Amino acid sequence: MEAFLSSLVSVAFHGLAYGMILYVISVGLAVTMGLMGFANLAHGVFAMAGGYILTSSLQHTSIPFPAALALAFFAVAAGSVVLERTLYARLYGAGELEQVLFTIGLIFMAVAVARLIFGTLQAPVMLPDYIRGQYPLFGREFPTYRVFLIAVSGAMIAALWFGVERTRWGAMVRAAVDNRPMAQSVGINTRRLFTLTFALGSGLAGLGGALGAEIVAVQPTYPLEQLVFYLIVVAVGGQGSLRGPLVAALLIGFSDTALKYWLPQFGAFFIYVATIALLLWRPMGLFGRRV
């Protein structure tokens, strides 16, 4: 019993850490889908870029860990603005098929570039000493890095929710998600709003990829392998919602960790089956708006 309880706590802890990271990465996709209806399958590219920025700056330069995290956020956000202005913006009015194909094309290009620069091996994460080792909490030992990761993700999520619920920018985003033509006609510059939101979402993905580099191996096939989890988070959580994707991400975090721990012989089988069942029950996702 004691052993089971201990493994239960351990699974819950690691599941929480993975779920939080998954949320930080994919919340940008949920907002992009809700705001512009753009099916950006290449969202994982931003997370991978963040992961590579962190791992290579820790490996080759002496900049401190927090600065590397910030760099991952801002560099990816800036890069995404360039992509958005030059390429994505051309396809806003286009059909879903074009968006899907275009973003798959971006994934292939990113995979190739990553292979060319970083090779096919997983990028090593060289953490500074102060976030390694174990951290005592409630009379138990937890890996310090995961505690740090949960704290940082939690802070980011709190800041994001505060921003969306309490600031002028957040009010404009919510208005545009609810009814874009109406928001436009009362004078909100939805194009600029979208660029800004896209940058923020991509930056968060970069940050999530950087933070999670130790949990989810950073390698060139990252955007392809992780895509399905982002899609599950957004589809199950509900597009354009902030709450839904968090619930979905935590569900995936817990169930994936639990399944890997107790039933490794089934892989991700049950997650896919549960996703299919859930989407049949609620096609718009758990917290999606009925259209």
Partner 1 sequence: MSALPPAAAGSAAHTGGYVADPRIRWQEWLPWVLAVAAFFGAPDYLSLGARILIFILFALSLDLILGYAGIITLGHSAFFGVGAYVAGILGAKLGVTDPLVQLAAAAAAAGVLGVVTGAIILRTTGLTLLMLTLAITLVFLEIANKATSITGGADGLAGVVVAPVLGLFRFDLYGKTAYLYSLAVLFVGWWLVRRLIYSPFGASLTGIRENAVRMHAVGAPVYARMVAVYAISATLAGIAGALLTQTHQFVGLNVLGLEPSGELLIMLILGGVGRIYGAFVGPFVYLIAQDYLAKQFPEYWYFGIGLILVLVVLFARGGILGIVDAALARLRRPSA
Q: Which residues bind partner 1 (CB under 8 A)?
A: 33, 39, 87, 90-91, 94-98, 100-102, 104-113, 115-116, 224, 227-228, 231-232, 234-235, 239, 265-269, 272-273, 275-276, 279-280, 283-285
Shortest Å, Cβ 142 to partner 1 = 31
Shortest Å, Cβ 134 to partner 1 = 33
Cα 102 to Cα 105, 128, 165, 212, 214, distances in angstroms: 5, 39, 33, 27, 30
Shortest Å, Cβ 47 to partner 1 = 17
95/139 with CB nearer partner 1:
95
159/263 with CB nearer partner 1:
263
Shortest Å, Cβ 102 to partner 1 = 4
Angle subtended at Cα 147 by Cα 11 and Cα 48, rounded to the nearest 5 degrees: 85
57/239 with CB nearer partner 1:
239
> Rounded to whole angstroms, how far apart are CA atoms 2 and 51?
37
- Burial of residue 197, with CB atoms counted within 10 A of its CB: 0-12 exposed, 13-18 middle, 19 or more buried: buried
Three-state secondary structure call for residue 185: helix
Shortest Å, Cβ 43 to partner 1 = 12
> Rounded to whole angstroms, how far apart are CA atoms 46 and 203?
8
112/126 with CB nearer partner 1:
112
Q: Which residues contact 134 (CB under 8 A, 6 or more apart)?
A: 141, 142, 143, 144
